[in-house]
Structure 1
Amino acid sequence: MIVERLELTDFRNYCSASFDLTAGVTAVLGRNGQGKTNLAEALAYLATLSSFRGAPPDALVRVGADAGIIRATVRDVDDREVLIEAELSRVGRNRVQVNKQKLARTRDLLGVMRVSVFAPDDLVMIKGGPGERRRFLDDTLVALKVSYDAMRLELDRVVRQRNTLLKQAGGRLSDEVAVTLDVWDARLAELGEQLGYARATLVSRCQPMVLEAYDQLAGESAPVELVYEPPWRSTGLAAALVAARDQDVRRGVSTVGPHRDEVSIGLNGLPARTHASQGEQRTLALALRLAAHRLVAERTDSTPVLVLDDVLSELDPERAAALLSNLPAGQVIITSASPLPPSAHPERVIEISAGTVVTSSHDES
């Protein structure tokens, strides 16, 4: 799948702008604060219905406007033109359309387009808490199979309801609370086992790809290890919930389940979060993204658009060159506030200033 054209209206700092993209590498250049990451965010929104920067939908609408519009003209794997449109409302419900047909639910847009984003903030996947690594796994699962999104939402709902019940119990396990807990536990165990199996399978498939990507980026071989082994998977989540019930009631929160799982990332036999250098951590984060991108490309009929959002400036020259020389096949969009390294050979260059396209040109070489 190739995005041929992107149009933005009242999105972030864009009043009205359009971008003609190429099937190869497009470079989007401009000083900091001009709108390069906003362009990347718009593309990713059409794939995930969320901001990779963690912003709420109303923050994506230009200040002073009531709604923002993202419109993309896409060429699919069968060479058919697809028009994808999303309207983000500052007040009220957002709307999405595919080929001018309104979708019954905005989440039906998931899977129509896939985008992989590499951003400087990806370092949090290595340095941050377990939630960041869980989110990486679950976002990758959704990119592989849209039905995992509904599973994730339902699991979140069940955990919230269970936590509400535990708080209302006030530390006392009455017969009424126990009966209701049984209902929520059964549902949590069912969904949790499914998600746990999916996460474990994903980690197993990604492990060799992460190792290969890290070696390519670092220019040397190093043992990288991904481990997803939550204790509840050995006993079964139903049994683990029973064992933790007294503690859960006492603390008023669900202490066991996929919402608490950790994914350990090791380098050279040590925890990368605490022992790897920042350069190694950044390379690991890139390797994770590259592995996920490759897996999604191999297992779906739609190779994701690859977006490198100001990543090259965070790498030393050797690793930046290694990344550029090992880019996967498909459409690539690179944003940068500084000139690109000599090893970058974009087919199209777009310069942006204050939410406006200043120049747009093809490489004539």
Structure 2
Amino acid sequence: MTPPAPVVRRLILSDYRSYTLARCDIDARRVALVGENGAGKTNVLEALSLYSPGRGLRRAELADCARRDGPGGFAVSLDIAFDDATTQLGHGLTPEGDRQFRIDRAPVGSARAFADHLRVLWLTPAMDGLFNGAAGERRRFLDRLALGVDADHGGRVNRLERALRNRNRLLEEGVADRRWLDAAEQEIASLGVAVAAARRETVSRLAAQIVTGESVFPWAEVAIEGEIEGWLAEAPALAVEERFREALAQTRRRDAAAGRTLTGPQTSDLAVRHGPKNEAARDCSTGEQKALLMGLTLAHARLVGEMTGKAPLLLLDEVAAHFDPIRREALFAELETLGGQVWMTGADPLLFDSLRGRADIMQVTPGRIARL
């Protein structure tokens, strides 16, 4: 059964990137933004991605999102329709550098609050090198997967990173009082096991979703390669937490010499294989890797819908140009089965010609968005 989905009905950008003031009214569940390279299509998707915890699909500094020669801040407003009700969501940055979040114009503490109304997923060209890139990029991708189903995961990851930096500083300074290190390592063990458990649970559920779901894209085998995740497969979380704490205490000298903590979920990796070929994703062709990544994204969107009860908002940047016409039409058909709203970009309007009458096709020119 297709889950219900919140739908963006209106988007307003104020002093955001290339936009002084732009308003976009939406009727359909599929939105195609077309225009020349540099016109501002990805800027629109980035503004939407900031309704998810973190720094958005570009991972940019928020100050860089403010319009050049503008007042120094920006604002993004959404009207979301769901269950015959409309909710207004807003986020922005003041000229003084303070980030703001609002729901129905009332202040809320962070982007975490938006997760009760909207889950946002994305796929961008910058992710094409995921399987051949550094393990850190795959960990970040893995954390985005976990965040889609567990809105509190990002906060735990951030606290773990701060705790690791604190321990590294204590080791570097050679703190004589062991109680400081004991406390830091207890915090790392607790947070680290929670992060590893959430990642492991997400990958397990995603693997099950891939097996049971149907897609025109090749299926992937996914697994986590990591010491803490391996321990969690053998023992309960409390036992793993104590084992992790003891390991940290025993490796202080080694980690001090290395300048970083060498044991923990911050060293884990996401392993992906091309299922039909039984081949590591990193060894596949560029086209096969793109198809695998698309398949993973669609499976994750289905998983988020099942676990949260709401189909996510899916942002696909320049995705249509990656595939031949047959695969592209199959993608459009599969997107309809997800139930959620999908925003896509492309330079050539002909890429979306088959969607006329079934999608809102918007022309993007510098500083302006208009229905084509």
TM-score, normalisation: structure 2: 0.87
In the TM superposition, what are the counterparts of 1:115-154 in structure 2 within 5 Å?
A: 115-154=120-159
Look up the SS of the partner of 2:351 in the other structure.
Answer: coil
> Is 2:77 the partner of 1:71?
yes
Look up the SS of the partner of 1:254 in the other structure.
Answer: coil
Q: Is the 8 A contact 1:22 1:331 kept in 2?
A: no
Taking a change above 3 Å as real, the CA distance of residues 175 and 340 of structure 1, as seen in their structure-2 partners, is same
Shift of 1:17: 0.7
**Aligned residue number for residue 297 of structure 2:** 289
**Aligned residue number for residue 271 of structure 1:** 280
Shift of 1:136: 1.8
> Is 2:238 the partner of 1:227?
no
> Is 2:353 the partner of 1:353?
no
Q: Is the 8 A contact 1:4 1:21 kept in 2?
A: yes
Taking a change above 3 Å as real, the CA distance of residues 210 and 121 of structure 1, as seen in their structure-2 partners, is farther
In the TM superposition, what are the counterparts of 1:1-365 in structure 2 within 5 Å?
A: 1-65=6-70, 66-76=72-82, 78-105=83-110, 107-169=112-174, 175-176=176-177, 178-210=178-210, 216-218=216-218, 224-235=220-231, 236=240, 237-267=244-274, 268-273=277-282, 275-327=283-335, 328-338=338-348, 339-341=350-352, 343-345=354-356, 346-357=358-369, 359-360=370-371
* CA deviation profile, 1:50-96 (whole Å, cap 9, x unmatched): 221121101111001121110111112x3211111112235321112
Q: Is the 8 A contact 1:213 1:290 kept in 2?
A: no
Shift of 1:214: 8.7
Taking a change above 3 Å as real, the CA distance of residues 247 and 214 of structure 1, as seen in their structure-2 partners, is farther
| Whole-angstrom CA distance in 2 between matches of 1:107 and 1:227 | 27
Look up the SS of the partner of 1:287 in the other structure.
Answer: helix
Taking a change above 3 Å as real, the CA distance of residues 142 and 233 of structure 1, as seen in their structure-2 partners, is closer
| Whole-angstrom CA distance in 1 between matches of 2:307 and 2:158 | 23
Which runs of structure 1 show a deviation greater than 6 angstroms over 4 or more consecutive aligned residues? Answer: none
Amino acid at match of 2:295: A
Look up the SS of the partner of 1:216 in the other structure.
Answer: coil
- Identical pairs, percent: 29
Number of matched pairs: 349
| Whole-angstrom CA distance in 2 between matches of 1:217 and 1:344 | 20
Q: Is the 8 A contact 1:120 1:310 kept in 2?
A: yes
Q: Is the 8 A contact 1:120 1:314 kept in 2?
A: no
Amino acid at match of 2:351: L
* CA deviation profile, 1:213-249 (whole Å, cap 9, x unmatched): 795124xxx6x32121412344532343244333112
Q: Is the 8 A contact 2:52 2:112 kept in 1?
A: no
Shift of 1:110: 4.2
Shift of 1:13: 0.3
Amino acid at match of 1:261: S
Moved more, 152-161 or 141-150: 141-150
* CA deviation profile, 1:276-306 (whole Å, cap 9, x unmatched): 1101111111122112211111111322112
Q: Is the 8 A contact 2:192 2:264 kept in 1?
A: yes
Q: Is the 8 A contact 1:96 1:102 kept in 2?
A: yes
Amino acid at match of 1:190: S
TM-score, normalisation: structure 1: 0.88
Unaligned runs of 5+ in 2: 1-5, 232-239
Moved more, 209-218 or 317-326: 209-218
Q: Is the 8 A contact 2:63 2:97 kept in 1?
A: no
Q: Is the 8 A contact 2:121 2:148 kept in 1?
A: no
Shift of 1:211: 5.7
